Amino acid sequence: MTRIDKPITIISNRAPYQLKKKFGQLTCEKNAGGLASVLDEIMCRRGGAWIAWGEKSEVFREMGIPLDTPKYSLRLVSLTDEEVKNYYHGFSNRVMWPLSHYFLDRCHFRSDYWKGYLEVNKKFARSFREDCADQDQVWVHDFHLTLLPALLRKERADLSIGFFWHIPFPASPVFRVLPWRAEVLRGLLGNDLIGFHLRLHAENFLQCVEDVLRVPVDREQASIRYDGRVVKVRVFPVGIDFRKWNELAATPAIAEKSRQLREEVRVEYIILGVDRLDYTKGIRERLLAYERFLEKYPEFHGRVCLVQIAVPSRTRVEEYRLLRREIDEAIGRITGRFGNRKWVPLRYLYQGFPVEELAAFYLAADLALITPLRDGMNLVAKEYVACRVREDGVLILSEFTGAAGTLTDALLVNPYDIDGLADAIRFALSMPEEEKRARMQRLRQAVSEKDVYWWCESFLETLIRTRETERDITPLTQVRDEEERS
């Protein structure tokens, strides 16, 4: 067993499986694709436990995964309706999420949300204490569980705790608006290692610690001495399973599906958008830019179609219901304004698709329009690139995504600049084939070099090293040099 094959406990809001009971039989459906399925694969290799909120946890509390040949144990934390309302829909989705994405006007700083958040974080800590007392390494994920590291640390000084922050970490003047800013930071300082996608996010975090807690931070060493320990802050831009997407897109079945899609849409250029229906993803602004593009460049009428996939998300949160209505309205307006008997300028698909279908969409699209107003990383951009097995296609990418840090051969745009975005669409569609190919080759190189396995292994390797020696810290300046070289 190598050092990074040791058992571990992962703790996240969502479980990697959906549990169902069919005819009295327990079934376990893997949440296909994405990060969770790669983490699940790693858990199957290492063993240990995964603690998550389970919507069916009143029925199943603990089970071996995979069901037929268990390799690790999945433990579900059961939440009451009130807790779901306050911890998940409330504090996580209406405070931490908008705050971290710089949407202060969408934040609802309510004390009932905060109390629920604190209670649920304590519940997760209890679950670890009761069920995983023999474990000595923990990997906590994301903004739902910021208080958990300190709660675990209070009980177990020996525990090695790593945390990955998947979304942007806001600049200090924005973060300091949070009424519970000190509690959240103290919670996070229970970790040994905190990982971010970008150096910018790491620097924002260090600045917040200094400004809010008045604790000195060591920027050279990217670390904080706190409570007699060293908390290390590092940058690990998350990747995708490049090989899997690349191989999938190269299969004849997916090529055939993609051909069928093109036949159905029947235009010269397919433009694709794929997002959870979330205000951070910039779907509304993207539609405005597409409308402006059609206004400004009538020569593209009849030749282009925007296929927008919007996966339903957080449908119980009011902001998301409102957004859905706004988007429906924009779609109706654009289709009514420009469409005719022979040409549908816009296809809107409000649904999720199996990964095979998604790969076929990526393969069919001449242009991916990925324009979040702010995004921690954005994996869709990387998946599009991985599926361009013919090394063609263009990626238009918002400069406010983490992905823009490495995908510099995309056409980087400001998603708020509607006219600029309309012009970028025209520029992309008119780009010479050789330039498209050269850019796509470099993009594919960048996405394949740092894939999701690199991300996972480097995080866990660093976590182990952090506890082994405090001195072994790669300074943030060195991280900067590495980023600039890549």
Q: Does 99 bind ligand GDG (CB under 6 A)?
A: no
Structure tokens at 401: 């995504």
Q: Does 98 bind ligand GDG (CB under 6 A)?
A: no
Q: Does 274 bind ligand GDG (CB under 6 A)?
A: yes
Q: Does 188 bind ligand GDG (CB under 6 A)?
A: no
Nearest to 425 by CA among 339, 366, 345: 366
CB-nearer residue toward ligand GDG: 165 or 226: 165
H/E stretch holding 449 reads helix 433-449
Mark whether 166 is an active-site residue. Answer: yes
Shortest approach of ligand GDG to residue 130 CB, angstroms? Answer: 29
Q: Does 383 bind ligand GDG (CB under 6 A)?
A: yes
Query: E-strand spans in 320-391?
Result: 346-349, 367-370
Q: How far apart are CA 386 and CA 445, in angstroms?
A: 9
Give residue 94's region: left, alpha or beta (phi > 0; psi -120 to 50). alpha
Q: How far apart are CA 344 and CA 362, in angstroms?
A: 20
Q: Does 379 bind ligand GDG (CB under 6 A)?
A: yes
Choice among 89, 108, 136, 166 that is catalytic: 166
Number of residues that make up the chain:
486
* Spatial CB neighbours of 3, under 8 Å, sequence gap ≥ 6: 461, 464
Choice among 142, 241, 366, 375 that is catalytic: 375
Mark whether 375 is an active-site residue. Answer: yes
CB-nearer residue toward ligand GDG: 294 or 413: 413
Phi and psi dihedrals of 473, rounded to 5?
Answer: -115, 125
Stretch that binds ligand GDG, among 154-162, 220-228, 370-378, 425-433 (CB under 6 A): 370-378
Bridge partners (DSSP) listed for residue 11? 51, 140
342-351 exposure pattern, b = at least 16 Cβ within 10 A, e = fewer: eeebbbbeee
Q: Does 363 bind ligand GDG (CB under 6 A)?
A: no
Q: How far apart are CA 153 and CA 156, in angstroms?
A: 5
Q: Does 166 bind ligand GDG (CB under 6 A)?
A: yes
Shortest approach of ligand GDG to residue 238 CB, angstroms? Answer: 5
Q: Does 373 bind ligand GDG (CB under 6 A)?
A: no
Tell me which of 35, 365, 428, 476 binds ligand GDG, using CB under 6 A: 35
Shortest approach of ligand GDG to residue 353 CB, angstroms? Answer: 4
**DSSP secondary structure string, 407-423?**
-TTSEEE-TT-HHHHHH
Stretch that binds ligand GDG, among 147-155, 218-226, 378-386, 409-417 (CB under 6 A): 378-386
CB-nearer residue toward ligand GDG: 30 or 390: 30
So which residues are the catalytic ones?
Answer: 166, 375
Q: Which residues bind ligand GDG (CB under 6 A)?
A: 32-35, 166-167, 238, 274, 276, 309, 311, 352-355, 358, 375-380, 383
